[in-house]
């Protein structure tokens, strides 16, 4: 695999650190593309790669292309069949799409790629920036089993937990459910700690009690101290939490399943965006629940 030429489309914090990880292991990172040209150019200098200015240039230069874009609109654009895109000259290429977008968008990209003669995997990530850099991502991969096996050595170098979960769309569905539950847990923890603060409790003691009872969760471990200390350096933004809760809620609507807690969580993250706090880590939802921070929204 290491003799294959690899490209990245979208080199924000996740994409850039995945590229760094693979470069450390000796992979050929041949082409980088990002709408923010300076971002791609800076990383290209760091990795000894090339920053290109168009999507077809990525396809022309690379055999395996990772895409790590922001939303459905961006995903549709890079796989457009009506304007220059990654599909130009894509025959024989493999796309590994890592964005958290709707299942329908993942499926549409895979269908368009197949028409162009390319293979596609959806590699949904249930991890954050440090794991991308360390190669310890949890990857849920959808797509043809044969293509998954072909790409498995490469994906293994990015992850410590790698699961083939079925068709392309299933990876996006599972990721949506993971983030739905995570976002509910985060908003719930913010309310529990916020109420504890309003009652004058020792929040570190309260957090310890939570950890030993049914109130425990992975979110308590990752976000509890940050909520208490108001340190909301961004690993997974409130804006992304709002988007991902929205994806899960749309899936639930299509399935005819009521998810009132998920809708309530989405409202909280949307409120953060309205208040100009969308760039904070999702732990910043505590700013809506702790006394003497921001007035609690009416929901």
SS (H, E, C) 164-227: EEECHHHHHHHHHHHHHHHHHHHHHHHHHHHHHHHCCCCHHHHHHHHHCCCCCCHHHHHHHHHH
DSSP state of 84: S
Q: What is the mean pLDDT of residues 238-245?
A: 94
Q: What is the mean pLDDT of residues 170-198?
A: 96
Q: What is the mean pLDDT of residues 261-272?
A: 98
Structural fold of domain 173-288: 1.10.1040
- What's 5-166's CATH class? alpha beta
3-state secondary structure of 89: coil
pLDDT of 192 higher than 50: yes
The per-residue pLDDT for 295 is: 52
The per-residue pLDDT for 298 is: 41
Alpha-carbon distances of 136 from 17, 153, 156, 274, rounded to whole Å: 11, 14, 9, 34
Which residues lie closer than 8 Å to 131 by C-beta, 6 or more apart?
137, 138
The per-residue pLDDT for 3 is: 87
The per-residue pLDDT for 296 is: 44
Higher pLDDT, 8 or 127: 8
The per-residue pLDDT for 290 is: 96
- CA separation for the pair 155, 293 (Å, rounded): 43
Backbone phi, psi, residue 167, to 5°: -65, 165
Give residue 20's Cα distance to chain centre. Answer: 17
Q: What is the mean pLDDT of residues 189-206?
A: 98
Q: What is the mean pLDDT of residues 38-56?
A: 97
Structure confidence by residue, pLDDT tens digits, 272-290: 999 999 999 999 999 999 9
- Where do the domains of the chain lie? 5-166, 173-288
- pTM of the entire predicted model: 0.84
- CA separation for the pair 27, 12 (Å, rounded): 19
- CB of 171 within 8 A of CB of 165? yes
How are beta strands 137-142 and 119-125 bridged, if at all? Answer: antiparallel
Residues above pLDDT 90, as percent of the chain: 93
């Amino acid at each position: 695999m290491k003799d294959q030429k690899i490209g990245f489309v979208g080199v924000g914090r996740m994409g850039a650190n995945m590229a760094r990880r693979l470069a450390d292991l000796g992979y050929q990172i041949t082409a980088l593309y990002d709408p923010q040209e300076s971002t791609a150019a800076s990383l290209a200098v760091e990795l000894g790669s090339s920053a290109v200015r168009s999507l077809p240039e990525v396809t022309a230069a690379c055999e395996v292309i990772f895409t790590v874009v922001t939303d459905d609109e961006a995903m549709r654009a890079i796989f457009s069949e009506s304007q220059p895109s990654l599909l130009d000259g894509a025959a024989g290429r493999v796309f590994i799409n890592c964005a958290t977008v709707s299942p329908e968008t993942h499926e549409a990209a895979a269908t368009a790629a197949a028409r162009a003669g390319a293979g596609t995997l959806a590699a949904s990530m249930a991890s954050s920036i440090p794991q991308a850099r360390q190669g310890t991502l949890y990857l849920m991969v959808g797509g043809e089993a044969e293509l998954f096996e072909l790409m498995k050595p490469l994906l293994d170098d990015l992850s410590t937990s790698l699961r083939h979960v079925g068709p392309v769309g299933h990876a996006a569905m599972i990721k949506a459910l993971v983030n739905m539950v995570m976002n509910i847990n985060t908003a719930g923890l913010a309310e529990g700690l916020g109420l504890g603060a309003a009652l004058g409790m020792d929040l570190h003691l309260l957090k310890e009690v939570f950890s030993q009872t049914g109130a425990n969760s992975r979110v308590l471990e990752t976000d509890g101290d940050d909520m208490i200390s108001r340190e909301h350096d961004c690993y997974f933004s409130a804006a992304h939490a709002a988007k991902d809760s929205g994806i899960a809620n749309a899936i639930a609507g299509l399935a005819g399943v009521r998810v009132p807690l998920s809708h309530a969580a989405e409202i909280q993250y949307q409120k953060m965006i309205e208040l100009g706090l969308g760039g904070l880590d999702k732990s910043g939802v505590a700013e809506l629940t702790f006394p003497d921070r921001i007035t609690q929204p009416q929901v």
